[in-house]
Structure 1
Amino acid sequence: EGLNIKLLPHQVEGVSWMIDKEIGERKKNGVLPKGGILADDMGLGKTVQSVSLILLNPRPELDAKPPPENPKRKMPGKEVGKGTLVVAPLALIRQWESEIKTKVEKSHALRVLVHHGPSRTKFAAELKKYDVVITTYQILASEFAGSSDHPDGAKVGCYGIHWYRIILDEAHSIKNRSAKSTQATYGLRSWYRWCLTGTPMQNNLDELQSLICFLQIKPYNNLATWKEQITIPMKNGKGNYAIKRIQYFLKGFMKRRTKDILKEDGALSFGKKSKDGEKKGTGMKIVERKVETIICELDPKERDFYDQLQERAQKRLDDMMGGEKTDYIGALVLLLRLRQACNHPKLVSGSMGKDKDALSTGQPAPSQTPRKTSASSSQDNDIDALADMFGGMGVQVKDCDICSDSGSGSEAESEEEEGDISCSGPAGVEAASTKIRRLLRILHAETPEHKTIVFSQFTSMLDLIEPHLQKSAIRYVRYDGGMRNDAREASLNSLRNDPKTRVLLCSLKCGSLGLNLTAASRVVLIEPFWNPFVEEQAIDRVHRLNQTVDVHVYKLTVGNSVEERIIELQDKKRELAKAAIEGGKAVAKLTMKDIMSLF
C-alpha cells in the first residue's frame, strides 16, 4: 500500500522480514535486533524494499500504545523523531530521491530532503520537518567532526536528531572501522538501524564486525568479544569453529538472496498462480548474463617491456624482503606498475597520484592519513586493507618505482646504451596497446544499438582510450571521481537518453557503487581487480531486474602475467565470503605470502 508499482514475491518476503525485525518480539538465535542487514544480490531491489518499509512502519503517534496483538512491543520515546535518514554514496543520493518520488503514490507522498552541498542546513529543527533525509558518508563525517561528544553539547545537522530509522546504502562503505566516515555512522542516534549491501564482506571477517558495531547488536558489537571468539580462533587454526559461530549469529538479523531465486517457479510474476498452473498478472524476466574472459597476448615489444619490468620488480622485491622490516606498501606499488604495464606501457611512467584509486577496493578512501606503523604492524594484514591505507596518502612518486632510480645519471644512460629498456616505456610502441586494440574490436563488432560500459581502475587508462574512440567516431561520455556530481549526472543522462552515445568510460571505484545503468547491455572490464566483489558490483550496474536485453561481459586479461595470478587470488576471497555468509569451508586471511605469489 502506498507504492504505485507491484513487488515481486521475493521483495514482498523481504519487506515482511524487515517489518518483523523492527516490530517483532521473537528472538532468532538469541538475537532481537532493531533492524539488520539486507544483503540481497545487486539488482534484486533493496531500495524499493526499503521504501516499502518506510511506508509500512511509520513512527507511531507520541501517545500510541502497543497493539493488542503485540502488547510487549516497545514504543519509541518522545525524544525519537519521525524521520528516516538514508546515507548513501554521492552518486546515489539523487537516485534515492527519484525512487521515492516516482514510486510512492501521491496519497502517501513523503517529504524528502537531499541534505548535501554548501548551502545545506545546519539546524536539526529544519531536518525534523522531513519524512526522509538523504545524505552522504562524507557529509556525516564533516558534521560528526563539528558536533560535541557531550550529551548536552552542540550538535550539527544530522547529529541533533534522534532518528526513527537509519538506512546505510552500500553499507560495505563502512567496512574500515577506523575511517572517519565509519566512526561518524557509529555516532548517530536512532530507534532502528539498517545496512543494505550486496557484499557485506569483501576481504576479511573483520569487515562484518564494523557493520555489526553500527547495528549495535550484542555481543559482537563489542570488539574485544569479537576478537576473542572470532579473530583469534581464525588465526589459531580454528577457522571453521569461528565461521559456524558467525553463521549462527548472522541468521538472526541478515537476509541474503542471490539471483538464483529468480529462477524459481513464479519468482518473476506479480500475480498468483491459477488452478491450472498458469500465471496471472504481469510478469518480468531475468535476462541472461554471459561472461567471456578474453586472454590478450601482448605484442613482442610489449612483452619484452613487461618481462624486463617484471625482472626488475623481482630484484627490487628481493631487496625489500632482505631488510629488517617487510615493505608492504612498496610491494603494492610494484604490483601496481606491473598491472599498468598489462594495460599500456605508457602508464608505467605516470605518477601514482592519478591512479591511487586502483589500490583501493571500491569504497571511499579513508579521510585521515594512517599512521606509518599500521602498514607493518601485523604479518597477516590483508592486502586490500593496505591498499585502502595507501589510497588515502596521496603519494606522488618521484623516483622510478621499479629500479628506485630518478631516471637520470650515468647508470641509466649506460643501460640504455646497452639496448636495455627504460621504465619510461619502449620507444616505437604503437599508441594503441594490445588491450585498446581488443576493446576497439569489441566495440566495432557490437551493433550500435548495444551501449557499452568500459570499466578500468586506472583513470589514466581511460585517458589513453579516449582519442581512439574519437578517431573511430564512437561517441562516448566519461564518469569518474574527478568530475563534479552535476557533470557525472549529465554523463549518465546522455548514456540513458541520447541514442548516439554508445560508450561510458567509467572508473571502477565510482561506477561499482549502486548505479542503475541498464541503458547499456555490454560491459568491458579492462583489467581484473584483486577484489572480485567490486567487479561483480560493476557488472550488476547493467545486469538488473529492469534490464530487457541479454548482458554480455568481456573481461580482458593478459596471459602469463600478474593478471592471471590476481584471478587466482579472487577465488580465495570468494571462498572466504561464501564460508562466512552462505556456509562452506573457511580459508584464512591473505598474507604477505599471497602478495609475493603475485609476482
Structure 2
Amino acid sequence: MQGITNMIERFSHVQDRSSAHSAKRRKVEEEPEDDKSKNGAFHGGSSGMLSGYLKQKQSDTQSTSLATTPTQSTLDLTGGMCDDDDLEEIKDPREQEVCYGMVAGAMVHCHIVPSPKPGARTLTPGSWPQVKVVLRRIEGDKTRTINVYDHTRTIVGKLNPKIAAGLAPLFDARLLGIRTDAFIGTRRRLPDEEAGQHISRSYPLQLMLYGKFKYAKTVAKHFSRAEVNINLLSPTRVDKGVRVFNPLAKELRPMSAPRAYDQPQAAPVARTEEEVRSEILNVFDSLADTDKLPESEPDDRITTPLLPHQKQALHFMKGREDPAETAMDPLWKKTSAFRGQVTYYNIIASKHYHEPPTKPLGGILADMMGLGKTLSILSLVASTVPDAYDWARTEPALPETTEQPQPQNPFAPPKPGGLGLTTVKRNSKGTLLVCPLSTITNWEEQIKQHIRPGGLTYHIYHGPHRIKDLNQLATYDLVITTYGSVSSELSARSANKRGPHPLEEIGWFRIVLDEAHMIREQSTLQFKAIYRLNASRRWAVTGTPVQNKLEDLASLLAFLRVKPFHDRSMFNQYIVTPFKMCDTGIIPKLRLLVDTITLRRMKDKIDLPKRHDQIVKLQFSAEERRMYEAFQKDAQLRVSVITGQRERMVGGKTYIHILQAILRLRLFCSGGKDLMSEDDLHLLEGSSSEAPIDIDSDEDDEKPALTESKAYDMFNLMQDANGDNCIICSQKLGPKEGSEIESERQEEVMGYMTPCYHLLCPSCIGNFQGLCPCGAPVLSTVALRLTKADQEHEAHSEGNNGKVAGKMPREYSGPNTKVKYLIQELHSWKAKSIANPHEPPYKSVVFSQWTTNLDLIQKALDVEGISYVRLDGKMTRIGRTRAMDSFREDPNVQIILVSITAGGLGLNLTAGNSVYIMEPLFNPAAEAQAIDRVHRLGQKREVHCVRMLMDDSFEEKMRELQEKKMKLASLSMDRDKGDAGGYLTKAEAAKQRLMDLRSLFEKGSKL
C-alpha cells in the first residue's frame, strides 16, 4: 500500500512498470474470440439465497468477461475470465480480485457508430445490439483522455471528460491491477445508420471496475476527492467467481456477485415501453393464488355484509399492518455469511445489510375497478380503531431524515427546494384519505351506506370550511382530502405564507391514497407533498398500479417506504434496467416484490350479473342522408387537395382543417342538423364537386392573432384525435393526473399554442426563440389552462368547428334518428317498470362526448315528459352529489345524462341497468370505463349496453379503428413513430401522414 496514494496523486510515471507484479492473466491478444464463452453456469452465491421461490424460476446463464485490452503503456487489463487451470493460485485474500462496482455517470462521446460483434443481434426491430467496448490510454499521453474501441479495434469515441479524469490515474498506476468491463447497451437505430459511419452522439456506458481487494480503500480515497467525485453503483453484471466489494458503500461488505454472464451470441434485447408495461401488468395480474387467503370478519361498525374477496382483503391488510409479525419479510433473509456476523440479505438486490430491515406497514390494494376497494378500506379503518387510539397517545417521532434520499442522487424522490422537514406536533388516531376531488362524493356516499351512524367520525378537509385547528382535526377517525389540498399546503409553506398547515404537522395513524397512480411522477409537487406526510401505516389503492411505465411502481414503493427500493436509483438499477434488458431472472424477483406487498384480484373473483353488449346500426332519414353526403363531399375534397400537396403536409393548419372536417361528420351522425353551427350549415349552400377548396380559408388569414377561444377549440380537436403533443418533445399536453399545482385555485398551464396551431409544453416554451419548428414566425402564444380546457371540452360542440362566430341554430328542429331511437328505448324501459311495480324501477344511463348533444337529448326528454338528471363537468361538487342522490334514490328519476369526459374517477352508477353510448370514441378505453361505472360491484341486475352507429357513415370507420386499436395520432402535428419504434424524420412523418389520410378516406371507406 505504501506509496500508492502518492503515485495516484502524481498521476503516473512514478514506478517502473516492469517491476510491477500481478497475478497471471491471459492477454486479449492471445485469446481467440470463440474462447470467451467457456465458463460454466452462474451460481447464486450465499448458498442459494433466492430461496425456493426463485430456484425454480431462474435460468442458468453463462458468464463472460468484458475486459479492456492491455497495451504496452498501460496496465495489463484482461480480456476475459480464464479457467482455473490457466491461473496461478492466489493464496493471499488481499491479492484477490474484486469488482468495485459500476462507475456512475459514464458516457461515450462517439464520433463513429460502434460496431457490434459479428452475429450479435437484437429481437427488437430498429435497434442496435449491445456493443462490447474496450477502454485504453495512449502511451505517453499527458492529457487524461481515455479512448473507446469497438471489437474492430477502431477508436469510436472517448470517455466523457469527468469520468476519464478520475479513471486515467488508475489506468496509469499499473500496480493497482485495475481492469474494466464496459459495453454500450441496446439503443435505437436511426434510419440509414450503419456501423463505422461518422456521427456525433453520446451513449450511456455500463462500466464495471475491477481491482485487487487490498487497494479498495486507495480507490475509494481517490474517488472521494472533491476534484474527482466519482460514485460507484452496484454492478449489473460480474464475472463468475468474482466477489463484489464497493469501497464507497458504507453498509456493505464483500458479497457474492448478483449474477455472472457470458457474452451470448445474441445480445440482450431491450423491451419497448409498451412491452414493459404489458409485462409488468402481467406480473400484477398473475399474482399468487388469492383464493386460499384466510378471511377476517369486519367490525360491527360495518353494516354491509362483506363478500368473501373483501374479507380476504381485510385479512391481508391487517396482516400487512401488524408490527408484531415475527416472520421475516419474504424480501429479506437473515444470514451469517461473513465470519459468523449476522447480516440481512435482500434477495432482489443481492445485498447484505447490518441493520435489520424495518417492515413497511401497509402495501398496495390493486383490485380491478368495481371490486369494492372502498368498502375494504372502510372495513380496515373500522377494524383498527383501538390501535389508532393507542397510536394517538404516543409521543410523535421526529421525521426520519434517513428516509430522504441523498441530494446527489438524480433519481431519488425529490425534496421541495430548500424546505426542511416539518416537526410533527402530535399523533392522531385518524386515517388521512387522499383522493381526487371527483371521488369525494363517492366516499361520502359509501360512508353513509356502509358504516353505522356515529360509528366513525369523518371530516372533508377541502374548501374554505375545512378545519385548520390541529388538535380538532386530530380527533376524527377519518379525514378526507384531495391531492390538490395536500399540494397547496406544501406550496404555501414553501412560500413562507403564514397560517396553519396541519396535514404535515400531524403524525397520522394511517395514510390511504385513493387512485394512487396520481403520484407516479416523482418530479411533481404532488408527489413531494405526499412523500413528506408522516404516518405509521400507508396504503396505495389503485386499479392501475402501472399506468405507462415500470417506473410508476417506483413512486408507490417510495411512498410506502419499501426499502431499499424507496430509493429510485436502487429501483432503476435492480428492477428497471434488468427488466428492459430482458434479464430472465428479473421476472421472479419482481413477482416476489409485488407479491409481498400487493393484493390484486380480477373481476372474475366476483359474480357480477351478466352484461349484454349490442351495436345498433341506424339508417339516416332521407333529409339527413342528403346533408350528411354534402358534409362528406366537403371532407373528401379537402383531403384530396391536401394529399395532392405533399409540401404542405407539415403545416398545422392543414391538419386542423382535416380534423374539423372529420368532426363535422361525427357531430352530424350524433346530433343531426341541430348540433351543427351556422358556419357548418353554410357549407351546404351551393356546394358542388366543381367548387374550389381553399384549405387556408375559413377566416384564418383574416385574423392576425390566435384568440383564446379558438385556441381551446383547436386544442379540443387535437385531444379528440389523440394529437395533443408538444411539437418539440412529443410529450402529451392533456390533463395529467399527477400534474404539479401550487394551489387549489390555480389553473394549471398545460402548454401553449402558436398561431400556426402547434403545441409547446411548459418545459419547451422556455427555450422557444419565436420561430416555430415548422418555420413560421411566432409573435405570441395562447396559454392553455387545465380547468378551462375541461370546461371548453364539455362545451366543445358549441364552437365545434373552430369558428369564433359559429353559433348553434336558435330553433330546435326536433330529435334526429339517434335520439328518436333512444326515446323509444327509454319508453320501453319505463313500460317495464310500470309492469313490475314491486321491483325497483329500471333506470338508464346515457353517455355522450359533447354536452351540447346532451342539451338536445334534454330537449327531447322534456317534450316526452321523461324525468331525468344530468352530470357534466361544469357542475359543482354539491350539484354532482344532488344529481347522483336523485338518480339513486328517486323512483321517478329513471334517466341520467352523463358527459363521458365529466364522469371522473370513482363514479358509481349501479342504480342503472341499461347504458346507451350515443357516439363511438377514438379511445375505446373511455367507452369501457363508462360502461364499468354501471357494471360493477353493487349491480343487482343484468346490464344492457347499446352502442349506436349510423349505417354507411364515418362512425363505422371509427368502429374499425377501435377494433384494430388504431389511433388517429397520424392526423396530428405530433412526430410519428415508425414500425421500428424510432421517431421518423419530418419528411418520413409527412409521408406517413399522407398514407394514413388516404387510408381513412380511400375509395370504399364509409364516411
The alignment's TM-score, normalised by the length of structure 2, stands at 0.44
Give how far 1:198 is off.
Answer: 2.7
Give how far 1:128 is off.
Answer: 1.1
1:88 is matched with which residue?
435
Distance change in 2, residues 1:52/1:199 (3 Å): same
CA contact (8 A) 1:451 1:519 kept: yes
1:308 is matched with which residue?
634
CA distance in structure 2 between the partners assigned to 1:303 and 1:211 by the alignment: 52
User: Does residue 120 in structure 1 map to residue 419 in structure 2?
Assistant: no
Shifted more, 447-456 versus 563-572: the winner is 563-572
CA distance in structure 1 between the partners assigned to 2:330 and 2:661 by the alignment: 48
CA distance in structure 2 between the partners assigned to 1:209 and 1:551 by the alignment: 38
The correspondence for 1:262, drawn from 606, 610, 632, is 606
1:369 is matched with which residue?
749
| 3-state SS of paired residue (1:505) | strand
1:270 is matched with which residue?
none
1:158 is matched with which residue?
503
Distance change in 2, residues 1:430/1:142 (3 Å): same
User: Does residue 27 in structure 1 map to residue 329 in structure 2?
Assistant: yes
The correspondence for 1:289, drawn from 602, 611, 620, is 611
The correspondence for 1:487, drawn from 876, 879, 887, is 879
2:308 is matched with which residue?
9
CA distance in structure 1 between the partners assigned to 2:619 and 2:577 by the alignment: 44
2:825 is matched with which residue?
442
CA contact (8 A) 1:38 1:197 kept: yes
| 3-state SS of paired residue (2:321) | helix
Deviations 1:303-335 (A, max 9, x none): 542463366368669879843999999998887
User: Does residue 189 in structure 1 map to residue 534 in structure 2?
Assistant: yes
One-letter amino acid matched to 1:484: T
The correspondence for 1:250, drawn from 594, 600, 604, is 594
Shifted more, 197-206 versus 357-366: the winner is 357-366
One-letter amino acid matched to 1:394: A
CA distance in structure 1 between the partners assigned to 2:458 and 2:380 by the alignment: 15
Distance change in 2, residues 1:210/1:556 (3 Å): farther
CA contact (8 A) 1:479 1:510 kept: yes
Distance change in 2, residues 1:62/1:487 (3 Å): closer
Deviations 1:555-589 (A, max 9, x none): 234543334314432899xxxxxxxxxxxxxx999
| Superposition map of 1:413-562 within 5 A | 432-448=815-831, 449=833, 450-557=842-949, 559-562=955-958
CA distance in structure 1 between the partners assigned to 2:739 and 2:637 by the alignment: 31
The alignment's TM-score, normalised by the length of structure 1, stands at 0.70
CA distance in structure 2 between the partners assigned to 1:257 and 1:550 by the alignment: 22
Unaligned residue ranges in structure 1 (runs of 5+): 66-76, 264-285, 378-388, 409-422, 573-586
Distance change in 2, residues 1:260/1:435 (3 Å): same
CA contact (8 A) 1:195 1:211 kept: yes
CA contact (8 A) 1:532 1:570 kept: no
Give how far 1:82 is off.
Answer: 1.9
Give how far 1:261 is off.
Answer: 1.2
Shifted more, 468-477 versus 225-234: the winner is 225-234
CA distance in structure 1 between the partners assigned to 2:739 and 2:392 by the alignment: 41
Give how far 1:291 is off.
Answer: 2.0
Deviations 1:204-249 (A, max 9, x none): 5555454444434456555556666777788x78599987775554
Distance change in 2, residues 1:93/1:512 (3 Å): closer
Distance change in 2, residues 1:203/1:468 (3 Å): farther
Give how far 1:12 is off.
Answer: 1.0
One-letter amino acid matched to 1:147: R
| 3-state SS of paired residue (1:252) | helix
| 3-state SS of paired residue (2:964) | helix
User: Does residue 565 in structure 1 map to residue 912 in structure 2?
Assistant: no
2:153 is matched with which residue?
none
Deviations 1:461-480 (A, max 9, x none): 22232212222222211111
How many pairs were matched up? 522
Higher relative contact order (CA 8 A, sep 6+): 1
1:56 is matched with which residue?
383
Unaligned residue ranges in structure 2 (runs of 5+): 1-298, 332-346, 349-358, 396-423, 681-708, 723-733, 742-747, 753-759, 765-783, 834-841, 969-978, 1001-1007
The correspondence for 1:133, drawn from 479, 485, 489, is 479
Deviations 1:323-360 (A, max 9, x none): 39999999988876765455346367696758958676
CA distance in structure 1 between the partners assigned to 2:498 and 2:469 by the alignment: 14
CA distance in structure 1 between the partners assigned to 2:583 and 2:815 by the alignment: 47
CA distance in structure 2 between the partners assigned to 1:590 and 1:215 by the alignment: 35
More helix by share: 1
CA distance in structure 2 between the partners assigned to 1:484 and 1:195 by the alignment: 27
2:770 is matched with which residue?
none
One-letter amino acid matched to 1:256: R
The correspondence for 1:43, drawn from 359, 370, 377, is 370
One-letter amino acid matched to 2:329: K
One-letter amino acid matched to 1:305: F
| 3-state SS of paired residue (2:944) | strand
CA contact (8 A) 2:303 2:450 kept: yes
CA distance in structure 2 between the partners assigned to 1:140 and 1:287 by the alignment: 39
Distance change in 2, residues 1:238/1:171 (3 Å): same
1:111 is matched with which residue?
457
Give how far 1:296 is off.
Answer: 4.9
Shifted more, 6-15 versus 30-39: the winner is 30-39
CA distance in structure 1 between the partners assigned to 2:508 and 2:446 by the alignment: 21
CA contact (8 A) 1:518 1:543 kept: yes
RMSD: 5.0
Instruction: Choose 1 or 2 for highest CA Rg.
Output: 2
| 3-state SS of paired residue (2:789) | coil
CA contact (8 A) 2:392 2:429 kept: no
One-letter amino acid matched to 1:369: V
Distance change in 2, residues 1:210/1:63 (3 Å): closer
CA contact (8 A) 2:908 2:933 kept: yes
CA distance in structure 1 between the partners assigned to 2:617 and 2:310 by the alignment: 39
Q: Percent identity among equivalent residues?
A: 31
CA distance in structure 1 between the partners assigned to 2:425 and 2:763 by the alignment: 49
CA contact (8 A) 1:202 1:531 kept: no
Shifted more, 469-478 versus 218-227: the winner is 218-227
CA distance in structure 1 between the partners assigned to 2:466 and 2:934 by the alignment: 32
